[in-house]
């Protein structure tokens, strides 16, 4: 009888084990599903951060059109802002206007925005500049050393890239000035017809903890002014 009772209880024990194993499997499956969802959401968030997204557009019916985009640069602490717009001028005319603006600023000794704007060296395809920029009190004035490289591509496209160039300028740091360690960007001009092009201005920088509400308006203003300046200068030429 003892053996019979033991045998009769075995199915119920197995059933309990089956239920426990099933619940454990469901729990593990649920945890795995939630983990997969979290990883997927994290991947989507990172993908969106590295993908150019529109942040501002010119008002309808007011002046010439432009669109500004932004993103984070993968693998770095840098952010990128970019403005795109059409210009009624050839790519070469636009690049020449940009270069002329740099040369004009270096020659304008009365320009209060830049108390110092020097052309350190110049070649056919490059400009090395040193700039001291006035900043409002109590901030220190800033200094920049920037190398501009001009280029031409097949199909009529042209443009310029720039980056910090402290090694080339060999300017020693000053306690009176706040040095801008990184300053990078580019202009590209791509022909869209016989006498017009699409202009793209991109700037990259490290926010270094500065809040977005402070940086964003400054960068947007810088990009808008840059596009408008080239449009005005090329209008004078055509």
Single out the residue in 9, 31, 50 at which a domain terminates.
Answer: 50
173 and 110 in one domain? yes
162 and 185 in one domain? yes
210 and 157 in one domain? yes
Query: What confidence score (pLDDT) does residue 127 get?
Result: 96
Question: Tokens in use for 217?
Answer: 């308006």
132 and 96 in one domain? yes
Question: Tokens in use for 22?
Answer: 């099933």
26 and 3 in one domain? yes
Domain count, the chain: 2
Tell whether the model's pLDDT for residue 215 goes beyond 70.
yes
Cis peptide leading into residue 138 (ω within 30°): yes
Residue with tokens 């097949």: 154
Report the alpha-carbon distance of residue 224 to residue 18 in Å, rounded: 68
24 and 98 in one domain? no
The pLDDT tens digits of the residues spanning 72-104 come to 988 888 899 999 999 999 999 999 999 999 998
CA angle 221, 226, 231 (to 5 degrees): 125
44 and 26 in one domain? yes
Query: What confidence score (pLDDT) does residue 186 get?
Result: 97
The pLDDT tens digits of the residues spanning 34-78 come to 565 565 555 555 556 678 899 999 988 777 899 999 999 888 888
209 and 184 in one domain? yes
112 and 30 in one domain? no
Under 8 Å between Cβ of 85 and 226: no
pTM given for the model = 0.76
Question: Residue 94: which residues within 8 A CB-CB, separation 6 or more?
Answer: 87, 158, 187, 189, 197, 199, 230, 234
Q: Tell me the pLDDT of the chain averaged across its residues.
A: 83
Parent domain of 169? 53-237
13 and 127 in one domain? no
178 and 116 in one domain? yes
35 and 92 in one domain? no
Report the alpha-carbon distance of residue 93 to residue 231 in Å, rounded: 10
How would residue 29 be classed by pLDDT, with cut points 50, 70 and 90? low
């Amino acid at each position: 009888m003892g053996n019979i009772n033991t045998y009769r209880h075995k199915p119920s024990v197995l059933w309990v084990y089956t239920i426990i194993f099933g619940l454990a499997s469901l729990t593990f499956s649920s945890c795995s599903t939630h983990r997969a969802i979290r990883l997927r959401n994290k991947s989507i968030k990172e993908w969106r951060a590295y993908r150019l997204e529109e942040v501002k557009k010119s008002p309808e019916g007011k002046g010439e059109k432009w669109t500004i985009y932004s993103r984070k640069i993968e693998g770095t602490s840098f952010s990128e802002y970019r403005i795109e717009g059409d210009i009624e001028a050839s790519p070469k005319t636009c690049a020449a206007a940009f270069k002329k603006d740099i040369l004009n600023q270096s020659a304008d000794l009365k320009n209060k925005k830049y108390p110092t704007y020097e052309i350190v060296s110049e070649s056919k395809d490059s400009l090395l500049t040193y700039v001291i920029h006035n900043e409002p009190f109590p901030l220190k004035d800033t200094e920049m050393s920037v190398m501009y490289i001009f280029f031409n591509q097949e199909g009529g496209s042209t443009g310029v890239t720039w980056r910090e160039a402290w090694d080339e300028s060999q300017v020693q740091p000053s306690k009176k000035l706040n040095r801008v360690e990184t300053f990078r960007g580019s202009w590209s001009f791509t022909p869209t017809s016989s006498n017009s092009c699409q202009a793209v201005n991109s700037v990259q920088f490290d926010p270094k903890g500065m809040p977005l509400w402070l940086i964003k308006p400054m960068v947007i203003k810088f990009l808008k002014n840059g596009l408008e300046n080239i449009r005005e200068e090329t209008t004078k030429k055509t």
